[in-house]
Chain A
Amino acid sequence: MRATKMTKAISVSKLLPVVMMALASLFTATAQASTPGITGPAFNLSAAPAYLTQPDGAAVYSWGYGCNGAPSGFAPAAIPSASTFCNVMQVPGPTLIVTENTQFTVVLTNQLPSSAGNTSILFPGLTLVSTSGGVPGLLTQEATSTSPVTYTLIATSPGTRAYYSGTQGDLQVEMGLYGAIVVLPASVPTNCSANATTPPGGLPFSGANGVAETNWGEKDFRLASAAYNNAHACYDREYLFQFSEMDERIHSQALAQVNATAGCAPGVAGCSLNVSTEPYHPSYFMINGRSMPDDMDPNYAFQYPHQPYNGNPHMHPGEQVLLRVIGQGRWQHPFHEHGNHVRILARDGNLILSQTAGTTPDQTGLAGPLLFTTTTTPGLAFDGIFYWTGKGLNWDPYGHNPKSSDPSATLACTPDANGYNTGAPTAINYYEWCQDHNKPVQVNPFGDVAAGGPVTLPDPNIFANGAWYGGSPYLGPNATLRATGCSSNSYINANQTSCGQTGSTPPSGTIANSPSGEAGFAFMWHSHNEREITTNNVFPGGMLMMMLVDSREFVIDESM
């Protein structure tokens, strides 16, 4: 059943209020992401058709890999099993979580329409030990509608990789036959598991992040303590993003031909598709199979039975965040991470190391570039590490005020050897950059935040607020409420003024980052080929997600 499909710009403007209401209704939900997937060592996959939903209301006929029966397990365990599912078709395909040097099998059953012909999976970068079943194809052994194929594989190095169809790829990959493999390292460097304190069911950390998570009641959503067996590959949080695009015409043409040949016998003349995959004119640009804002809904959200994975990264200051990024589809996309640079660790599971790594003095050995725009390339996966600390802002983003009566405003900041407040993992300002501690940004006092800084903020009457604006320049609900809520009576009396002079978020319905609840720092992570942050001609949409840096008071729940 197809929903209304918008194809002309004119009709879009008429329908936009509807789209916007849909957007607004979604802003209220706070969802987070992680790297959810299924575990082996035996994976029983299907390739099957279904419809993908898009935020403009379109339902696009697609093909995808899925689970042929219940998988042997889901990971990470911190996502409640009641919420997980793996349907017979999903886009991207199930994320296969395996361990380095451990043999695993993938059985592929072809449930595509008979006229679609055979299908298969390529596993670039992995060792294909053997295949059985199916029939030989051009690039690999293929599954027919009656004969599944079994691939026996082994990954000889850790990291993130792509898998995708090796049969008529121009059509089958476009239709959605792709997915990710996460290979966990067989052993983790000792420094990455130095601190065993962790929430129940969690893994050891390199630092005190497990202490902080335990204190705030947060879960550990990682698949491992390190991405690679390298002292610099420790991480505190991880996210997987797969970039792809769709040309709706190809999908409709495939559907029309599939319907016209319904029930035909495989191999019989005429039981085949002849879909033109050029010229290529995509109008849907997706992260993990969803367009913005759908990508920011939870993993396994019930409204996307065939698009279970989201793109909605959250993190706390100082957390080392592993980004696993794959280019699927056929175009390159300049993926811009606002907020900081990314250290590229590896490409297709190959660590990028210095030519002098291992020699004395071996400082780290890493040689991957630092990038603020990480191009995604079809078939290419990379791993990188990102963090945000606020270092170098030259003002205190927590809005600490030594004269305040609020204990949270007078927290201490004791710099470690690198200048961060890491000695107090249970404090709101764990990992604060201490050099700017208590340093004001504003010339004039606002609420309970100190004056004497360099800049005067504009009058709130002359600016517009964004849906993800936390309500003040400050990080976290405590600082934001002190800045805007006038917790200081002396300030109110002295200035004879109302509160909230730094502004507040718009009326309810469009608050995605409320001043009293989350008040994180929101950063847009998006394709910098900006026309790709649209959904079928409508902005905002497409390859866009908001990353939130959350103060420690806010509990990040990646299962949502």
Chain B
Amino acid sequence: MRKLHQIGLLIAFISLATGVARAQSFRVQCPTSTITHPATIHDNNSEPAYTGPTVLAPDTKGFLAPSANVNGAIKCQQISGGDGYATMGDGTQTYMFSFGPLSGLAKIANGQPGTDSPSEFNTLNPTSNVLQPGDPATTAGAGGLFTFNGAVGQVPDLDNGGAVNGHVDPRQMLDIGVMNGNIPAPLMAIDEDDEFFLTLSNVGMIMRPDLFEQHTVHFHGYPNASAFYDGVPDASVAINIGGSFTYYYLAPDAGTYFWHCHITPPEHLQMGMVGQLYVRPRQDRVTTDLYTSLQAQQGDLRTACNSATDILCSNPLPAVNTSATGAATVLLGGTSGYAYNDGDGTTYYDVEYPIQIHGFDPNFHFVGMTFNPEGFTDMKDKYFLLNGRSYPDTVTTGPMQTQSSDGVNHFSQPLPAIINIPVGKKALLRISDLDVSEYQTLASLGIPMQVIAINAKLLRDQAGNNMYYNTNSITLGGGESLDVILDASDTTKYPSGSVFYLYTPNLDHLSNDAENFGGLMTEVHVN
């Protein structure tokens, strides 16, 4: 379907053609110091321990700025908006509108969040290491080791004394970004109190040059969002091909959110512009008593939750003080943590897995690739995806690659959906659904699912009672998320070597188009 936006864009082009151009079109942003995170107090390249609320004092410029106890740090990420190809469970190559990584490339290829600290993001690619189209797949295919995690394209700004200030060489961005779409879109993870600078660079959709399409990022579930950074093109601005837009967020309350493009949602979401995003809690940075720490968070009105006066108070103190002590493994670089600021340790996990449910309608994707208007009411998914893959690809380790129409292999499906739980441990599943046409159910054969949160909010009533519940299936519509803990601590029931299945009881979704076995299913391995 042709859309309103494009007419608007034409008008915008005409009316703005005489405007004053004063900035580079592609650019990245990742400051090392801000009002909220002054580098003079903490260098922002790591997360400081949480010891109490941030101390704010009036700045000479008329606003409050931290004077001590700065919490959180700065995080940055760059993504491309464009197109690409993925391989479905039956081997079919499918065209997508999609986002790809333009920073944290090595991490994304390794199934990790591509989010960088400023020192990582602002690391320049050595001139000796020329980025190849398709990288990291190209380097890996040649037997090389790809380790670069910085912002693709960032080079010294020779007009400003060689400063690293976000100036880019667009050739590198296009070499990497074009035809490099991923499903799911690059994984993002930030910590509460962080400032997050997310740069979207629109590299164009090579297979659909007729569309000259904008893309946006909608941070789905961001509380008290501004319209400007909400990513709805109708209510804000959208970046044209050849330009970059940096979205700015102060990390909201901890939880499992997700993100997607908001241009013509029925089209761009179906075509694959969906990704995962979660916010780790302050409690991950606590080494002392969790209850006391949650009480301390009441000392900053931004992080406080007063259920007596705030109907949207998301995280009251627990009714029972369990005297649990923080594991603070985030500070130590471990895999474990807490899903929420529970104050009682009940959302502890040893390993976490983001799982995104999605569906592809092959007919819609084919029509979308071949310059035809797609119908919406006939949309019918035939591929049912967990992290962009159908069974048995869901349990394939490492990134999956697909050769795009540029003749080069790309890591278009970087994220496996296999769940490995160390024996006797707990796994957190951060499940989100961005299917655009139907509700999906995911069932656990074996380990029960303990639902601890829905829509990025801890399941706790306003009097502090936990309302977690056990179930063997969860149902989500597009635009919903929830958190589930798979507790394998009973080693009699769940001994090492056991394999369980997560699958959909929507039995027609256990298929890959014409193949009647596959679809929305993955495996849980107790190791």
Contacts and interface: CB of A to CB of B under 8 A. Distances in A.
B9 A464 contact: yes
Contact of B436 (A364, A419, A530): A530
State the majority secondary structure of interface residues on B. Answer: loop
A265 interface: no
Interface stretch (A159-167, A218-226, A520-528): A520-528
Interface string B474-495: 0001111000000000000000
Nearest to B33: A454
Contacts of B248: 395, 441, 454-455
A465 B240 contact: no
Interface string B456-485: 110101111101000000000111100000
A235 to B, nearest CB: 10
A278 B140 CA distance: 53
A537 B377 contact: yes
Given A364-B307, A530-B478, A469 B236 contact: yes
B252 A392 contact: yes
Interface string A296-340: 000000000000000000000000100000000000111010111
Contacts of A526: 265
B224 A388 contact: yes
Interface string B188-213: 00000001010000000000000000
Nearest to B309: A418
Interface string B1-25: 1111101110110011001111101
A534 interface: yes
Given A356-B319, A453-B35, A528-B479, A372 B302 contact: no
Nearest to B463: A354
Interface residues of A, number: 112
A393 B226 contact: yes
Interface stretch (A144-152, A182-190, A255-263, A431-439): A431-439
Interface stretch (A5-13, A110-118, A121-129): A5-13
A416 B259 CA distance: 34
A389 interface: yes
State the majority secondary structure of interface residues on A. Answer: loop
A466 B226 contact: no
Contact of B64 (A385, A439, A529): A439
Contacts of A463: 12, 214, 237-240, 243, 245
A507 interface: yes
B302 A13 contact: no
A452 B61 contact: yes
Contacts, number: 334
Contacts of A23: 4
Interface string A366-391: 11011111010000000001011111
A472 B235 CA distance: 11
A303 B186 CA distance: 47
B197 A455 contact: yes
Interface in B209-248: 214, 218, 220-221, 223-230, 232-240, 242-246, 248
A482 interface: no
Contact of A534 (B61, B233, B266): B266
A540 B264 CA distance: 7
A388 to B, nearest CB: 6
A503 to B, nearest CB: 6
Contact of B439 (A282, A332, A418, A536): A332
Nearest to A402: B62
A373 B377 CA distance: 22
B269 interface: yes
Contact of A462 (B226, B232, B235, B239): B239
Interface string B77-115: 000000000000000000000000000000000000000
B247 to A, nearest CB: 8
Contacts of B130: none
Contacts of B301: 415, 418-419, 435
B52 interface: no
A31 interface: no
A456 B30 CA distance: 10
B311 interface: yes
B311 A343 contact: yes
Contact of B312 (A357, A370, A375, A537): A370
Contacts of A439: 35, 63-64
26 contacts: A9-B375, A336-B479, A354-B461, A364-B462, A365-B462, A367-B463, A367-B465, A372-B456, A373-B455, A438-B61, A438-B63, A454-B197, A455-B29, A455-B248, A461-B16, A463-B214, A466-B237, A468-B232, A469-B234, A497-B22, A498-B19, A498-B20, A521-B235, A524-B234, A537-B377, A539-B265
Given A356-B465, A456-B166, A531-B377, 15 more contacts: A334-B439, A334-B477, A334-B480, A372-B455, A390-B224, A392-B224, A460-B19, A462-B243, A466-B236, A468-B232, A470-B227, A534-B1, A538-B1, A539-B1, A539-B266
